[in-house]
Amino acid sequence: MFENEEYSRVIPFNNGKEKTELTIYQETITDVGGVIWDSALMTIHYFFKNPEQFHGKKILELGSGTGVCGIALAALGAEVIITDLPERIPLIQKNVAANSRLTSNRIQVQVLDWTKDKIPDGLDLVLAVDCVYYNSTITPLINLLKTCDAKETIIVSEERDIGEASVAQKTFFKNINEFFELTPISHEYLDPDYCAEDIIIGRLIKKP
């Protein structure tokens, strides 16, 4: 069995005070959660373009993977809870530590199991970036979002065209339509250099 190795990616941005950069470690041997996907890059550059929307907000990220999106939000002044399953927590903690100069004490890292845990009350935003890969996660994720009282939910998903991920993604958006309306975020708020037609980024609005 090969020992997993890590490599880092540097992401430049301007936090409003200075030009700086995030350093994010990724894994060479991983499942879907150990690398930065294009959907995450598109999402963090949406944050960078609209920092005033997130500064000072209480935000929880589901299925964070590397932690990059939550770390970017904290670097812009948000109070962030980064969550995932236990096996993903060490990489997230390493990335939080690597960027602590930018995030101060604005990040908590917690295990959140969609099948048994709940999203805490009183949040401004819940974020889910590329969280749907497996059919078994669809119902737990929808139930989790249904019981959440956050003021806003943003979901991001890169279109998959093969395998279980493709089926799961289509099923998720079909099923969640019973409870939520998906409103795409206007392209004027997105960074044109980090924008792709096959990536959905939008707000989930609960239906009455």
For the chain, the domains span 6-206
pLDDT band at 70 (very low <50, low <70, confident <90, very high): very high
Please say if the pLDDT value at position 165 is more than 90: no
Which pLDDT score, from 0 to 100, does residue 2 have?
42
Q: E strands along 144-195, which residues?
A: 152-158, 180-184
CA atoms within 13 A on the CB side of 95: 35
Helix (H) or strand (E) holding 96: helix 89-98
6-206: CATH topology is Rossmann fold (3.40.50)
More confident residue, 83 or 159: 83
pLDDT band at 27 (very low <50, low <70, confident <90, very high): confident
DSSP string, 186-199: PGGGS-GGG--TTE
Judge whether 189 and 49 are in contact, CB under 8 Å. yes
pLDDT band at 29 (very low <50, low <70, confident <90, very high): low
Give the three-state DSSP class for 8.
Answer: strand
